[in-house]
Amino acid sequence: MDIHPTRGGTRLMTEAGVTGRAVSAADPAAPLDGVLEPEEALALLRADPEAFAAFTGQPLLAVWARGPSAVAVAELGRHLPSVLVAVAPDLSDLPPGVETAGFDILLTGVPDPPAPWAGPIGPGVSLADSLAAIAAMTRRVPAAAVAFAQLVRYSAGLDVRDAVIAESFTYSTLQGGPEFASWLAGHRAERERRAARRAAAAPAEPAVLVERDGDELWIVLNRPRVHNAVGRDVRDGLVAAFGLAESDPSIAQVRLRGRGRSFSSGGDLTEFGLLPDPARAHAVRTTRSIPLALLRCGRPVTAYVHGTCVGAGVEIPAFARRVVADPATTFRLPEIPMGLVPGAGGTSSIVRRVGRERATYLSLTGWALDAATAAEWGLVDEIRPVGGDDHPTR
């Protein structure tokens, strides 16, 4: 069943072994079914290290964050093919070392908790809502959910460029899997309709504009009719624009923005699955890489974002030195429900801005993050009015 945040009140949540009444943020100590005592989880893992795995139907292991056994669970389970979640209704009595033991998500009912903990996003959203959303996602697409957790466990410690390459390997692997194939089949008709509409309304203007203003280079996403969806034309335009910044020593800084109602709605769904095989897709993704081109340009980049930023529309600006967001901006990572992981560098850029645990929470709930929370987490550096029609105030 689909899980959506409640907005006040309580309701029953049932998915992947997580059942019971929703726990309001004001009632963080209420019981949650499906969360194991650490000693019980340890016994299960010692008896069968693969008891919790994507391929056994148990891709999620959630334990209470109390006592030294909770730390032992993470130390034993962090190399296994499952998503590990530590649950703490409050943060008053945590065992030493639990935050660095290796849990993929540190989940609490405390609003606005300190990093690396993730608390309720939005009014009325409870600890039970968050846990149920994570459980629903791991049950729906276990291979993608577990692959994301495994990837960022490893790549969080890599050089940022190496992490982009590691992401592409994982993305390509999942492109050949049944979860992505199922998503493609289910969205084929919608994708064909979108492709027909876009072909009929294809503008003559370039997908990416490059404008010079003194020693500044402005790079402008120019597909406003489709919310600046990132297809081949946008990809190639961005790679070329960042290449120009790299090759011209008179350019001191780069500013990135998008025309229209949104900075970017993410990857162009009409182009998903068009390359002949995952190996070719990996080769293209790493030779024509937007994040690698941005990092290579060697100039400070400021990204101005607004509207609905989805997928690549979150991942690419997160590589910038500075991100300025309109107060009404929202951020969302939609790739895991598609049977994939982020493919525009998000497991590198977002993880380095908000931390591995919060990035996993954001991806495995699929929920939108508002600008204020994004700023608290470090995904955004400044909030002020940003529009898509004119250059932002500098």
HEC letters along 136-167: HHHHHCHHHHHHHHHHHHHHCCCCHHHHHHHH
Estimate the crossing angle of helix 142-155 against helix 356-365, to 10 degrees: 160
Render pLDDT for 144-162 as a digit per residue (tens, 0 to 9). Answer: 999 999 999 999 999 999 9
pLDDT of residue 26: 36
pLDDT at 4 over 60: no
pLDDT at 175 over 70: yes
Binning pLDDT at 50, 70 and 90, where does residue 195 land? low
State percent of the chain over pLDDT 90: 76
pLDDT at 18 over 60: no
Render pLDDT for 279-307 as a digit per residue (tens, 0 to 9). Answer: 988 998 899 999 999 999 999 999 999 99
Average pLDDT in the chain: 88
β-partners of residue 36 are 63
**Residues in the chain, overall count:** 394
Q: Residues 18-24: what's their mean pLDDT?
A: 32
pLDDT of residue 291: 97
Render pLDDT for 75-129 as a digit per residue (tens, 0 to 9). Answer: 999 999 999 999 999 999 999 999 999 999 999 999 999 999 999 887 889 999 9
Contact 130, 105 (CB under 8 A): no
Cα–Cα distances (Å) from 251 to 33, 215, 247, 297, 374, in that order, read: 57, 5, 9, 10, 30
Binning pLDDT at 50, 70 and 90, where does residue 17 land? very low
Binning pLDDT at 50, 70 and 90, where does residue 135 land? very high
Binning pLDDT at 50, 70 and 90, where does residue 385 land? very high
Render pLDDT for 228-243 as a digit per residue (tens, 0 to 9). Answer: 999 999 999 999 999 9
Instruction: Return d(Cα 152, Cα 160) in angstroms, integer.
Output: 12
pLDDT of residue 205: 86
pLDDT of residue 271: 83
pLDDT at 12 over 60: no
